[in-house]
């Protein structure tokens, strides 16, 4: 243990205590969290009761009308102030994220950048997206239709541990931009990261009651949150997502669900292999593979398979696997003992059934309690668990293909449909190939960032990867109730006095035939 980075020494007690004041919790009950850097206790998180949830939602509902009345332009200015504070305090935020997750500092800083970009996008574009608009009415000149977008009220956000800042705020910022209040339940393991972001959000000028944070186990607080909310956002496993969606459906509220993925990458014969290898390393091993959009399946054209494989293995073996607050690590540690067991079981099962381990395949407790080497497998077959099941760790399997139709078929042979990547120097053909993949996002000649960092582009999954879209106009409008207001002038739509019903039907028939040739 003496060789481990002492996480508790990285965060002063005063900092932890200050952040914990952001939790809506009235009872004395606390829950200890540990750091993946050394497995030692990091903080004791106050736990919220049912009464605390009632108080959080009451405060949010009370604050929401005034927050909505500010208008999207004013709300947007406050989100832009949040953007600036995130960038100004990125060093402190990165320290907290690394201490709670064990990820490489580079990955932690990318989280901060993504939240800042999200705040900027909604801050700049929300007013345009939410603006009332005119739509064509039944009769030209006589029927006017106005479409308005009203906030839903209070949005519940249930976020995971793997990207504790990005996932805690990416949905909630869109909800705020649309005029809603938020009650958030970050994952129990990574409360400090979410609370550090909350502190900056309030400093930016967002009213304290407009964003409430509660703490506690998801099995207890999750159902209670859904029962009190007007919309729920959940990011996590497909199994839990089903339960969230079922309860939301029973309550007749909408649910945004980003769930699991078994994401494919396709390397065509004409791909620039150096770029593809670099993309594979980033796409498979960022955040130690604990990323819903990371790649666990790589399909490579047989003509370049050996060259790609050898270069990918060499690049993977050259990665710095370590932990710490500086910029040295390329790959940090897994986040928990349960993650280590899951990842090791997937690799061990494949190896025991005949797969070849080209790189990695070992736990590294000499580096951190739950560290695991970036692992590349070859010869993975259907009877192996990692062929179809999501590993959610730094384990990827390589498969050669002989034609692109076969690659598309293999990539689509999954219950999931979140993210994919296609590599080819023929961009037109690559885009056509990408359009055939049954996933929500596809990056051409990039691993993850081209779609994930393009905030105007919607992001989300198909199949068992979830429902709804975050980012883009779709990411804001999901938090609104659309209202149509139609104003009719002159001619009414009922049978005019003195006109027979048959005559009225004949007049309407002629009118509809006339409208048929009018293009609007």
Residue 376, strand partner residues: 359, 396
> Pairing mode, if any, of strands 263-267 and 480-488?
unpaired
For the stretch 498-515, what's the b/e string if a residue is b when 16 or more beta carbons lie within 10 angstroms of its beta carbon? eeeeeeeeeeeeeeeeee
Q: Taking Cα atoms as reference points, which of 405, 421, 441, 493 lies closest to residue 142?
A: 493
Cβ neighbours around 348 below 10 Å, total:
13
The H or E element spanning position 435 is helix 427-435
As to burial, measured by CB atoms within 10 angstroms (0-12 exposed, 13-18 middle, 19+ buried), residue 405 is exposed
**Active-site annotation holds for 233:** no
CB distance 298 to 280 below 8 Å: yes
- Residue 38 to residue 236: CA distance in whole angstroms: 25
What's phi and psi for 432, nearest 5 deg?
-65, -40
Here the tokens at position 412 are 């689509």
The per-residue DSSP string of 217-253 comes to -HHHHHHHHHHH-SEEEEES-HHHHHHHHHHHHHTT-
Can you state the percent helix, strand and coil of the chain, rounding each to 5? 45, 20, 35
Distant-in-sequence, close-in-space partners of 453: CB < 8 Å, separation ≥ 6: 114, 117
**Active-site annotation holds for 296:** no
The residue annotated as part of the active site, out of 233, 284, 292, 386, is: 292
- Residue 311 to residue 80: CA distance in whole angstroms: 42
Distant-in-sequence, close-in-space partners of 481: CB < 8 Å, separation ≥ 6: 149, 150, 151, 152
CB distance 323 to 102 below 8 Å: yes
Here the tokens at position 316 are 């993977």
The residue annotated as part of the active site, out of 100, 258, 373, 446, is: 258
**If DSSP states are collapsed to H, E and C, what string results for 45-92?**
EECCCHHHHHHHHHHHHHHHHHHHHCCHHHHHHHHHHHHHHHHHCHHH
Residue with tokens 């009345």: 69
Q: Which residues are part of the catalytic machinery? A: 258, 292
């Amino acid at each position: 243990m003496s060789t481990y980075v002492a996480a508790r020494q990285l965060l002063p007690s005063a900092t932890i205590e200050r952040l914990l004041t952001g939790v809506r919790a009235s009872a004395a009950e606390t829950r200890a969290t540990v750091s993946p850097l050394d497995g030692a206790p990091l903080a004791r998180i106050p736990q919220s009761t049912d009464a605390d949830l009632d108080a959080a939602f009451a405060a949010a509902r009370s604050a929401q009308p005034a927050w909505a009345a500010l208008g999207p332009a004013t709300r947007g200015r406050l989100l832009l102030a949040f953007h600036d504070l995130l960038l100004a305090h990125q060093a402190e935020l990165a320290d907290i994220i690394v201490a709670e997750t064990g990820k490489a500092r580079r990955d932690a800083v990318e989280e901060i950048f993504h939240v800042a970009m999200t705040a900027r996008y909604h801050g700049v574009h929300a007013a345009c997206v939410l603006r009332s608009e005119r739509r064509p009415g039944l009769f030209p000149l006589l029927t006017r239709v106005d479409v308005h977008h009203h906030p839903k009220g209070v949005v519940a956000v249930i976020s995971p541990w793997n990207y504790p800042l990005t996932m805690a705020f990416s949905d909630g910022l869109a909800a705020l931009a649309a005029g809603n209040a938020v009650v958030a339940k970050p994952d129990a393991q990574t409360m400090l990261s979410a609370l550090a972001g909350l502190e900056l959000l309030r400093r930016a000028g967002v009213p304290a009651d407009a964003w409430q944070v509660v703490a506690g186990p998801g099995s207890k607080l999750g159902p209670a949150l859904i029962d009190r909310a007007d919309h729920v956002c959940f990011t996590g496993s497909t199994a839990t997502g089903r339960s969230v969606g079922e309860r939301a459906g029973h309550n007749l509220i909408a649910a945004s669900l980003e769930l699991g993925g078994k994401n494919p990458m396709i390397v065509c014969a004409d791909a620039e292999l150096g770029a593809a290898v670099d993309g594979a390393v980033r796409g498979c091993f960022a955040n130690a593979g604990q990323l819903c959009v990371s790649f666990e399946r790589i399909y490579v054209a047989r003509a370049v398979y050996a060259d790609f494989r050898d270069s990918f293995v060499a690049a993977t073996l050259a990665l710095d696997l370590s932990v710490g607050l500086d910029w040295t690590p390329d790959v940090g540690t897994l986040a928990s003992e349960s993650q280590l067991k899951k990842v090791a079981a997937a690799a061990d099962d494949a190896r025991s059934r005949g797969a070849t381990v080209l790189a990695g395949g070992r736990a590294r407790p000499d580096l951190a309690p739950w560290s695991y080497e970036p692992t590349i497998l070859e010869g993975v077959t259907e009877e192996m668990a990692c062929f179809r099941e999501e590993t959610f760790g730094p384990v990827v399997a390589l498969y050669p293909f002989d034609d692109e139709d076969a690659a598309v078929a293999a990539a689509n042979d999954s219950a999931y449909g979140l993210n994919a990547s296609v590599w080819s120097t023929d961009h037109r053909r690559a885009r056509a190939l990408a359009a055939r993949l049954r996933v929500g996002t596809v990056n051409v000649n990039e691993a993850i960032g081209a779609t994930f960092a393009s905030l105007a582009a919607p992001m989300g999954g198909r199949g068992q990867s979830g429902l709804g879209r975050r980012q883009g106009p779709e990411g804001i409008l999901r938090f609104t109730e659309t209202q149509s207001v139609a104003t009719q002038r002159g001619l009414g739509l009922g049978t005019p006095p003195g006109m027979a019903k048959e005559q009225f039907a004949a007049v309407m028939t002629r009118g509809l035939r006339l409208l048929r040739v009018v293009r609007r």
